[in-house]
Amino acid sequence: MNAPALSTRGLDKSFGSLVVASGIEFALPQGARYALVGPNGAGKTTLINLMTGMLQPDAGRIFLGDEEITSLRPEERVKRGLVRTFQINSLFPRLSALESVTLAVCERQGHGGAIWRSLPAYREAVDEAYAILLSLRLGNDCYRPTRELAYGQQRLLEIALALATRPRVLLLDEPAAGVPIEGSAELFDAISGLAEHISVLFIEHDMDIVFRFASRIIVMVGGSVLVDGTPEEIAADPRVREVYLGKKRHG
């Protein structure tokens, strides 16, 4: 009944001799706001790739709620509500923001293969896409091609695309990467304002933001989970200070 929204058991993955995930045991409860932190190259993005099916694990299992999804294709996982965003913008450069989000809505509604009616005839899909864009304050620029949008707007569009799929579990890979400080707080306000039934795991390097928005923090180093705990526990943990916070202070 109270199965976590997303969980993994013993996930392993290596690239040749480089171990990027080893024995990852992870659980994201329903409605949680968790942060995943760790130094560059710790394997955070790889973990998201594994959970969303963009990479196949060498060993281990992945569950969405009660259902095992280890062997499902990425789009099948999305259909079940497991959705991610990308650390490096992965958008549709020559589609407008409105078209991009409408595309995602249509695919969710199962109209992606519909040939005979024109796109504007799917008015609810278009209106829903527009509403998402408005909620992220992209309404004014939604007719411009994506590649002409400001970088910060493109980061928001990353999230808009994910929201259009109506996720149950949302994995955000450094949503504020490259966004100036003020912008990133704003962006996280938008994220924390997401509906409560959406479980969120976000990767973020800025510890102020992490402490502010996460109810629990998972620290990864060298492909394994070093510790996980509440912000207070993490802040007080000497190992974390050493590998992560400490490193940041001196580096």
Ligand X SMILES: Nc1ncnc2c1ncn2[C@@H]1O[C@H](COP(=O)(O)OP(=O)(O)OP(=O)(O)O)[C@@H](O)[C@H]1O
The runs of H, that is alpha helices, within the chain are 44-52, 74-79, 97-109, 123-135, 151-164, 181-192, 207-213, 231-236, 238-240, 247-250
Assess 40 for contact with ligand X (CB under 6 A): yes
Q: Which of residues 3, 54, 194, 227 is near another protein by CB under 8 A? A: 54
Instruction: Please tell me whether residue 140 adopts helix, strand or coil conformation.
Output: helix
Query: Which residues lie across from 36 on neighbouring strands?
Result: 203, 218
- Residue 167, Cβ neighbours under 10 Å: how many? 23
Bridge-partner residues for 219, per DSSP? 37, 227
Q: Which of 42, 69, 78, 176 binds ligand X (CB under 6 A)?
A: 42
- Under the binding rule (CB under 8 A), the answer on residue 143 touching another protein is yes
Q: Which stretch binds another protein (CB under 8 A): 72-80, 196-204, 218-226, 241-249?
A: 72-80
Among 56, 59, 73, 230, binds another protein (CB under 8 A): 73
Give whichever of 65 and 74 is closer to another protein, judged by the CB atom: 74
Using CB under 8 A as the binding rule, whether residue 135 contacts another protein is answered as no
According to CB under 5 A, which one of 7, 8, 22, 45 is a site residue for Mg ion? 45
Contact between 202 and 214 under an 8 Å Cβ cutoff? The reply is: yes
Residues engaged in binding ligand X (CB under 6 A): 15, 18, 20, 38, 40-46, 87
